[in-house]
Structure 1
Amino acid sequence: MASSVSCSLLLSPARLCRSLRSRASWTLSAKGFDQRSSFPSEGAAVLSRHARSLCRGFFSYGGSSSAKQQTLEDIAKSIREQQFNRVVVMAGAGISTPSGIPDFRSPGSGLYDNLQQYDLPYAEAIFEISFFHHNPNPFFALAKELYPGNYRPNLTHHFVYLLHKKGQLLRMYTQNIDGLERLAGIPPEMLVEAHGTFATATCTACLRKYEGKDLRPDVMSGTVPKCPTCKGVVKPDIVFFGEELPRHFFKYITDFPLADLLIIMGTSLEVEPFASLAGAVRSSVPRLLINRDLVGPFTWSRRPNDVVQLGDVVSGVQALVDALGWTRELDALMAASTEKETSTRMSLEAESNLPITPRLIMLGQSSMTATCWMVSAEGRVIVELDKENTFADAMSSLVHSMY
């Protein structure tokens, strides 16, 4: 033990932090936890906090406590004047819930109730590779609900696309598997889908590769996709607990040191190793958190150039867009995207020979008081509601529109 400590003292601060982090990762692995797991052991969590505490002491030189705290307007001004041209975005589930993506863990939601017929030992088992090999049906029931084409991007996705269009996006790192970033127009090479994607799939037996769209007819009809070559189960390239992260996740090694602005939105920053990326940019780089709550280093290691916009995520992004003066441009972009998505939905329906059922889509804030559209099987908006309407009003309007 003594030799280990003396050896650590000979390390530079950066190397010591890396050493501590690697030991934390090793502890997780040794106890049989996947690197994606949301449920690390208590001992590993303590070690992680200890490592962060030491690292904070070494790297908290972002400026004196008397330094002027930056504001959202300061960030907007620098983006507008193109002082930030290598923006990295980190995003989690909070940017997708305004699009209507359900929370499968919540009792009472239709998706959760549908999964109960499979007698899951616990909700997260649906993403465990060992359970999938034993029984793939629950996952494909979830996949049917989440498959690309069922939901629409919202303002947050379109904002990131606009950053890309203006040449200021270096990369977007997302925890989401819903594909809404791609649907918004963000090219795959600008995305790191840390937990995988439905865009591609792999046979679990012979490892033959498939396009995600090849699986759609089976998934939407409730059939487990099988490889025509070996009859093995074909799994979308979603990263399950017990699987390695995609290789392109490690682009962060070069992306984050190059970043001149980090935007973090809609994430709890609890799942490793994604969560640690928030601390991977240089200490001089501003970090903008648009989130419902303070998370990660914003709770225990704030920097003078950190900016926090708390509350509804879509409202926070809208505030940034307004400060940038991009509102009209973003509105036009979203209108054009709606037209394109209508065509895509019709194409998907034609390919699968299955109707895409009407569903309620929230625009703007993530609550049932937001503006809503009811979209038909053809992708047509058949009911549009103002902010005072409720879900019951939506259903009533839909019924009246049919007669």
Structure 2
Amino acid sequence: MAEPDPSDPLETQAGKVHEAQNSDTDSDTEGGAAGGGEAEMDFLRNFFSQTLGLGSQKERLLDELTLEGVTRYMQSERCRKVICLVGAGISTSAGIPDFRSPTTGLYANLEKYHLPYPEAIFEIGYFKKHPEPFFALAKELYPDQFKPTICHYFIRLLKEKGLLLRCYTQNIDTLERVAGLEPEDLVEAHGTFHTSHCISPLCRREYTLNWMKEKIFSGTIPKCEKCQSVVKPDIIFFGENLPARFFSCMQSDFLKADLLIIMGTSLQVQPFASLISKVSLSTPRLLINKEKTGQMDPFLGMMIGLGGAMDFDSKKAYRDVSWLGDCDQGCLALADLLGWKKELEDLVRKEHARIDAQKGSGTPNPTTDASPGKSPPPAKESRSTEGERPQ
């Protein structure tokens, strides 16, 4: 949702070059400026080699660039650690709107809040002055009104099979947690409704999901019981830094990954979108989405320091596969090929029944219309030579 940029790539890399220049120049005992210049060029060559994958080995691990090829790889000894990157498109079948679709997206339906512009509802500066629109919207979209989708339970199945290394999510709806993922399985890149904090920097008292729910549904602005400042759910607004966990896990996870599965995201929001470039150059990447995303002009990638754009269609394509269509159906198609389809369908039915029983209601979930009982349509993988919902 939010597009905070706590570590601007250009500033970060410029700082690295500057540090390297100082370090290399100071260490020259002879050769003066010429030696320093050569060291700078060595640093830049190494930097661009790392960032853009220049000169690195690109081993092809998929026997074909199709969903079937991904399936065979997942069933092999080579695939033991899977990272999932997910966005709003995996929650739309639960009844949660995406952000930017022209008529159905959240931003297109905020007129009643009389905002200066739609994104203001998620800007921290505007929120501090006018919290009312956000909390009115939060009442409409409160997490516990929805049940996880087939996609969420497919990720849980990856965990139960011992394959899930981590799920990185842009979503704030907590449905990954409801589906059975533990906090250690998750990186909630744009925060979560699960906890809330007082916005006063001198207080920062924490509040629970149930406390926040009571305030929101009573129609009152949540105020801190200690200092009377506004209490905000721990979702990342425009103007706020991403959680420290995002950066610490990113540093350790991606070079371990054997497979990247990307679902329901436009890959337009930074720095989340850059995660596709963090895996090794040999790591296969599967996109399950309504449209192809993550493709970037190579020159633009070099200018902003982001390599590893998705390549589905060129003659050089060797590791990227796209399945275009509804995310739930894509997960069912993959589960079917893996021999997990019945297990996934049973898990969805069992868990939805459990959630309904806890609520004391048998109200059907929109997800079941997409449903565990239906077979997926023919896979529409895309590769010429051989979707999401933006947040």
Q: State the TM-score bracket (shorter-chain normalisation).
A: 0.7 to 0.9
Residues 1:240 and 2:272 are matched in the alignment: no
Residues 1:216 and 2:248 are matched in the alignment: no
What is the percentage of aligned positions where both structures have the same residue? 46
Q: 1:84 aligns with which of 79, 86, 89?
A: 79
Q: CA–CA distance in 1 between the matches of 2:39 and 2:121?
A: 43
Q: CA–CA distance in 2 between the matches of 1:214 and 1:183?
A: 18
Q: CA deviation at 1:328?
A: 1.0
Contact 1:62 1:303 in 2 (8 A): no
Residues 1:194 and 2:199 are matched in the alignment: no
Alpha-carbon displacement from aligned partner over 1:234-281 (angstroms, at most 9, x marks no partner): 100000111111011010110001111111111111111100100100
Partner of 1:169: 164
Contact 2:348 2:372 in 1 (8 A): no
Q: 2:291 aligns with which of 293, 307, 322?
A: 293
What residue ranges of structure 2 are gaps of 5+ in the alignment? 1-13, 22-36, 295-308, 375-391
Residues 1:151 and 2:155 are matched in the alignment: no
Q: CA–CA distance in 2 between the matches of 1:357 and 1:6?
A: 71
Q: CA–CA distance in 2 between the matches of 1:319 and 1:115?
A: 36
Q: 2:264 aligns with which of 259, 263, 266?
A: 266
Contact 2:100 2:108 in 1 (8 A): no
Q: CA–CA distance in 1 between the matches of 2:65 and 2:106?
A: 42
Contact 2:286 2:322 in 1 (8 A): yes
Partner of 1:322: 336
Partner of 1:391: none
Letter in 2 for 1:315: Q
Contact 1:149 1:345 in 2 (8 A): no
* Mapping 1:84-103, distance limit 5 Å: 84-103=79-98
Q: CA–CA distance in 2 between the matches of 1:289 and 1:231?
A: 46
**What SS does the aligned partner of 2:366 have?**
strand
CA shift in 2, pair 1:60/1:289, >3 Å: farther
Residues 1:15 and 2:29 are matched in the alignment: no
* Structure-2-length-normalised TM-score: 0.74
Contact 2:49 2:55 in 1 (8 A): no
Partner of 1:119: 114
CA shift in 2, pair 1:328/1:357, >3 Å: closer
Q: CA deviation at 1:360?
A: 6.0
**What SS does the aligned partner of 2:47 have?**
helix
Alpha-carbon displacement from aligned partner over 1:138-160 (angstroms, at most 9, x marks no partner): 11122112222111111100000
Residues 1:363 and 2:368 are matched in the alignment: yes
Greater shift in the superposed pair: 162-171 or 212-221: 212-221
Letter in 1 for 2:68: E
Q: CA deviation at 1:200?
A: 0.5
CA shift in 2, pair 1:258/1:14, >3 Å: farther
What residue ranges of structure 1 are gaps of 5+ in the alignment? 19-54, 347-355, 373-384, 386-403
Q: 1:75 aligns with which of 70, 84, 100?
A: 70
**What SS does the aligned partner of 2:54 have?**
helix
**Higher relative contact order at CA 8 Å, sep ≥6: structure 1 or structure 2?**
2
Q: CA deviation at 1:292?
A: 1.4
Q: CA deviation at 1:219?
A: 0.8
**What SS does the aligned partner of 2:143 have?**
coil
Letter in 2 for 1:332: D
Alpha-carbon displacement from aligned partner over 1:61-91 (angstroms, at most 9, x marks no partner): 4258xx9543211221232345422110000
Contact 2:147 2:365 in 1 (8 A): no
* Mapping 1:329-344, distance limit 5 Å: 329-344=343-358
Alpha-carbon displacement from aligned partner over 1:265-314 (angstroms, at most 9, x marks no partner): 11111111100100100111111111112211225887412222122222
**What SS does the aligned partner of 1:58 have?**
coil
Please, what is the CA RMSD of the aligned residues? 3.1
Alpha-carbon displacement from aligned partner over 1:92-134 (angstroms, at most 9, x marks no partner): 1111111111245567659668742331111111111000001
Q: CA deviation at 1:230?
A: 1.0
* Structure-1-length-normalised TM-score: 0.72
Q: 1:58 aligns with which of 49, 54, 61?
A: 54
Alpha-carbon displacement from aligned partner over 1:307-332 (angstroms, at most 9, x marks no partner): 22122222211110110010111111
Alpha-carbon displacement from aligned partner over 1:374-394 (angstroms, at most 9, x marks no partner): xxxxxxxxxxx9xxxxxxxxx
Partner of 1:282: 280
Question: In the comparison of the two structures, how many residue pairs are matched?
Answer: 322
Letter in 2 for 1:207: R
